Chain A
Amino acid sequence: MNTPIVTPEMTPSLNAMFRFQWEKAQNCFVLLFPEGMVKLNGGAGEIMQLIDGQTNIQQITAALHAKFPDAGDLSDDVNEFVTTAIEKKWLNHD
């Protein structure tokens, strides 16, 4: 498979195979799918919360920057996560 190229205009959406929710017992966001669970770390959870099928990469990055002003430029982090998430089929994209 070719590595997807994340562009600022791309709008990712959650693959309907997965459910995204906060798990209190795990103290993190998770993705649930048939008989399985993926635990997401803090950063991944923050990005996933902003993915709604309407918001594009640029807007997601800007929203994160507004929430974490001291974190510096976050575009690489967003691109890296979204690339992995598409490869793993957690996310679809237009």
Chain B
Amino acid sequence: MTNQTVTDISAQDSDALVGPPLWLLAELTYDCPLHCPYCSNPTDLSDTKNELTTEQWFKVFSEARDMGAVQLGFSGGEPLLRKDLEELVKHARGLGFYTNLITSGIGLTEKRITKLKEAGLDHIQISFQGADPELNDAIAGRGNAYQQKFNMAKSVKAQGYPMVLNFVLSKQNLEQIEDIMRLSCELEADYVELATAQYYGWAYQNRDHLLPSREQLVEAEAIVNKFRDEQDGKGPHFIFVTPDYFETRPKACMNGWGTTFLTITPDGSALPCHSAKMLPLTFPNVKDKSINDIWQQDFSFEYFRGDDWMPQPCKGCDEKEKDFGGCRCQAFMMTGDMHKTDPVCSKSEDHHLIQQAIDSANNPSKPIVPRVNQKAMKHAKDTELNITRIKI
């Protein structure tokens, strides 16, 4: 009875057959009340008419659960905008999923927190943009967002949920890191993700305004470590994620393409990662195929599995098991070729592009673009695109 095995969800052994999609992310809607410049949602927001119905989501959940999926994230956009959220949670919980709600906190009420609990929701994650109302609401592009989030975080804990707080860090709020950590303690968060923005989608366009300098990061990291030391094992567990732009090796692609994560977008597209839609691959839709067929057989899921697809220097590299050649989306965004070595890697012939990005972020030339639904803007021709410059 000794030798207890503890396996992290991200360290699944790969058998001959493809293991199940342990993590299912259900993006219920692209609709969102906030306009964060770092949003990694696609920049051409599709409208909400093609969204999957309640019944279609039920089918997705059942099929994924049958294959062994165990974690289910409800996200968006803002998932609270789906009126059937409670129904979806209830169904998923009944199937045995651990259910996670990933929300901005806007649209949440004490009553809804109670109703979701009754439906069986296991955990709520709330995202913050800053540690005080001024900066938070400037980044989120909406007044009162901070107070709302603060109140809802209090209520989430009061109602007995495990709570994760997510702070998306950027040049705009990095200097608040200590306040952010204090706020997290005050709100009694269980886990806190201090994550620098991932530069996909909207965030890529705004990278010059978001990417901190190396000095800023070094300083922030020192503050985080000092704070952790003083915690003495109490309070939230802080997870600090720095942008890979300052590394010489890329971050591993989510435990490997098509090994663990499955994202279903509001219209039913199945993706091996939440930003894969930018890639020149055709992805299947749950309206046409079962999750099992998609996961086990679809060309796009098979495409970057293993290492057959790799060009040099990845193919002959002894670190390929560690990072899988890095992020396909980043390779595509920066080099135009999704097969290439992630430019973050110092062995990549495109590594200079990263240095260029860092230099350019020290000196932004374009104004920041908030996330707006471009289609909505078409109906408001006389309104100028509202470009907010955020002062620090």
Question: Size of chain A's interface in residues, with CB distance under 8 A?
Answer: 30
Query: A8 an interface residue at 8 Å Cβ cutoff?
Result: no
- Contact indicator per residue, chain B 1-41, by CB within 8 Å of chain A (1) or not (0): 11111111100000000001011000000000000000000
Query: B68 an interface residue at 8 Å Cβ cutoff?
Result: yes
Specify which of B68, B100, B162 is in contact with A16 (CB 8 Å cutoff). Answer: B162
A55 to B372, CA, bound (A): 56
Specify which of B1, B8, B70, B190 is in contact with A23 (CB 8 Å cutoff). Answer: B70
A34 near B4 (CB under 8 angstroms)? Answer: no
B100 near A35 (CB under 8 angstroms)? Answer: yes
If A17-B190, A39-B6, A40-B5 touch, whether A32 touches B164 (CB-CB below 8 Å) is no
A38 near B190 (CB under 8 angstroms)? Answer: no
Instruction: Known pairs A32-B70, A35-B73, A77-B1; list 19 more (Cβ under 8 Å).
Output: A1-B233, A16-B160, A17-B162, A23-B68, A24-B68, A25-B70, A32-B71, A33-B98, A34-B100, A34-B122, A34-B162, A38-B7, A38-B8, A39-B6, A41-B4, A41-B5, A43-B1, A43-B2, A44-B4
B98 near A39 (CB under 8 angstroms)? Answer: no
B1 near A37 (CB under 8 angstroms)? Answer: no
A25 near B67 (CB under 8 angstroms)? Answer: yes
Query: A4 an interface residue at 8 Å Cβ cutoff?
Result: no
A19 near B68 (CB under 8 angstroms)? Answer: no
A-B contact pairs, 24 of them (CB 8 A): A1-B233, A16-B160, A17-B162, A19-B122, A25-B67, A32-B71, A34-B125, A34-B162, A34-B190, A35-B71, A35-B123, A35-B125, A36-B9, A36-B71, A37-B98, A38-B7, A39-B5, A39-B7, A40-B5, A41-B4, A44-B4, A44-B5, A77-B1, A81-B1
